[in-house]
Amino acid sequence: MKLKVILLLSLILSVASSLKAQDDILEKLAEIAIIDQKVMMPMRDGIRLATDIYRPKGDQPVPIIFSRTPYNFNSWGDGKQRTYTARRAYEAVKRGYAYVVQNERGRYFSEGEWDILGVPLTDGYDAFTWMKNQPWSNGKIGTLGCSSTAEWQMAVAALDHPSHAAMVPQGFGAGVGTVGPYFEQGNWYRGGVEQMLFFAWLYSVEHDKFKPRIPAGATQEDLIRISRFYDLAPENHKVDMAEALKHLPIQDIIKNIHGKREIFDKMVRRKPNDPAWFEGGLYHEDMDINVPSFWFASWYDVSIGPNLALFNHVRNPENSTAADDQYLVIAPTLHCSYTRATENTVVGERSVGDARLNYEEQIYAWFDLWLKGEKNDFKEKTPRVQYYTMGLNKWQAAESWPPEGAEMTTFYLNSGGKANTASGDGVLSATAPSKDQPDAFTYDPMDPVESYGGNVCCTGNAVKGGAFDQQAMETREDILVYTTEPLEEGVEVSGFIEATLYVSSDAKDTDFTLKLIDVYPDGRAYNLDETIQRVRYREGYDKEVFMEEGQVYKLDLSPLATSNYFEKGHRIRIEVSSSNFPRFARNLNTGGNNYDESEGVVAHNKVHHSEKYPSKIVLPIVK
């Protein structure tokens, strides 16, 4: 009983301390800022978007840092978001900036209807025009935000508003269409397979069509008063998402947990080539980005490969007049977790050392350059690409991605036909095998390979992101394992990893997955990145071509990306299977729609490797 009382008192003190810290930052902000909350900014169609403005006291026009978000930023009550907004505003104001945060249409106090793809694109442009015309604005605007607070920035940058002077997108996707070798459709797909993060994310954030609404035309005074009591945030029933995502058919997952379904019902049925993808407010492949940009990505984020491909796309002078004004940071962290790096940064189970970086200093130097016109030394002292190499556990610099000197080196899959499990005979070597002894495994969609760690976000308790020891996973017979001999000298792999598999199956359609692993001398096997390909889309996402039993098909998987130093004595490994669930939706192997099916077909799959069928991975090795 005494222990329970002590624990309760500890919890109360912790909450009290947290609330005091929140009050302290709001008090500090009030000392230096003019605070103008629940400003209803008008869009061209009459819809008003709820906006909070924090600006330095006085009459001097200042540049603006603008964050538009679907998330709750109400400053009343308690919670992390309240503190985050106040801290972000305080840091901006004390440096001489106005900080403006706004909800997307249809979110919280903003009027209109919300869509995950950010309809309409013109909202960002209209917001820039309104802010530019305020007497406290110097006419220069920079955008800042991570994840969904970053996704909209690239598309609005392509509109070339004269006031959009710089942007800092963090943890972003590559948009809609083909960007480099990726076709992800706003992060919904990878290799034609649904990324189930959106199933969990939409449950947690979507507002119901019957949500309470503030009457149109409500005054700012009324909105400020009301927001002290009602922040319009839905209180979702706590769900075991690990169990919820197992439900079939997948189109009923949200319905089965009594969630809001309007947007999900539409999205889950949308195939990769649906023209509706291009109707939203995300960046499209045919848009040019002419805004100076400071990009932030993470090795264990859900969209790391597409992030890097988009950076390279904008670095091409044919796609941007600001190609030389693009900079990139790649951290060894999870989604939007840059500032959580410590002296001993642990991502999942693996320590990657001291991964700290002076993020705030660099971001504000960037904004000072473009929004204030300061003649600082950002360009002279900031590398084009700052990337963290795991294994070496240090920050490195390059002028491009991949780094100069990265040589694409081929490793072929080989075995005696028994590569199943880490105890099998699967080998990665520089020599292509001459004889085809395919490795076979059974993929049962009712017993898929579990997602264990990885490059993920937003899945609740369904998947823990980061690097985890895969040894227990590698005892499964439906995982093929191919490993090099222990390395005689250390090898840095930094760049895009290409993978080609030659496959066959007795099913009309199935998936193939691939995972890159760093194997330690004691057997620990840490995952670095992973990919997947739905075989029906092997010839492109504009058509479906099914398999025939007895035929062998070439499969070029979406590239992986990493920077990892494989120390001397370590081994390089890949795992091949047909599921990585619930990171990706499982293929039921029927050749049907998949989203409306409840019964699966067991597939007997093979990976071929020979002179005729050279299954391989190609690693960018930095000399």
Over the stretch 91-101, which tens digit does the pLDDT of each residue have? 999 999 999 99
* Cα–Cα distance for residue pair 229/361, rounded to 1 Å: 36
Average pLDDT, the chain: 93
| pLDDT given for residue 15 in this prediction | 37
Dihedral sign for Cα atoms in the order 429, 432, 433, 439: positive
| pLDDT given for residue 208 in this prediction | 82
Q: What topology is assigned to 406-622 in CATH?
A: Jelly Rolls (2.60.120)
Question: How confident is the chain (623 residues) per 10-residue block, as mean pLDDT?
Answer: 44 41 81 96 96 96 97 72 85 98 95 85 96 98 96 95 98 92 94 96 88 88 90 88 98 94 91 91 92 98 96 96 98 94 96 97 98 96 98 98 97 98 98 92 98 96 97 98 98 98 98 98 98 98 96 98 98 98 98 97 98 97 93
Question: Please, are residues 355 and 347 in contact by the beta-carbon 8 Å criterion?
Answer: no
Of the CATH numbers 1.10.238, 1.10.150, 3.30.1490, 3.40.50, which one belongs to the domain with range 2-327? 3.40.50
Dihedral sign for Cα atoms in the order 278, 106, 306, 265: negative
Angle at 65 between CA 63 and CA 67, to 5 degrees: 155
Residues 6+ positions from 173 with CB-CB distance below 8 Å: 151, 184, 186, 187, 282, 303, 306, 307
* Cα–Cα distance for residue pair 567/389, rounded to 1 Å: 12
* Cα–Cα distance for residue pair 14/270, rounded to 1 Å: 46
Q: Tell me: the pLDDT tens digits for 214-246?
A: 888 899 999 999 988 888 888 888 999 999 999
Domain extents in the chain? 2-327, 406-622
Question: Please, are residues 390 and 406 in contact by the beta-carbon 8 Å criterion?
Answer: no
| pLDDT given for residue 82 in this prediction | 63
| pLDDT given for residue 13 in this prediction | 37
Residue 538, Ramachandran bin (φ over 0: left; ψ between -120 and 50: alpha; else beta): alpha
| pLDDT given for residue 522 in this prediction | 98
pTM of the model: 0.94
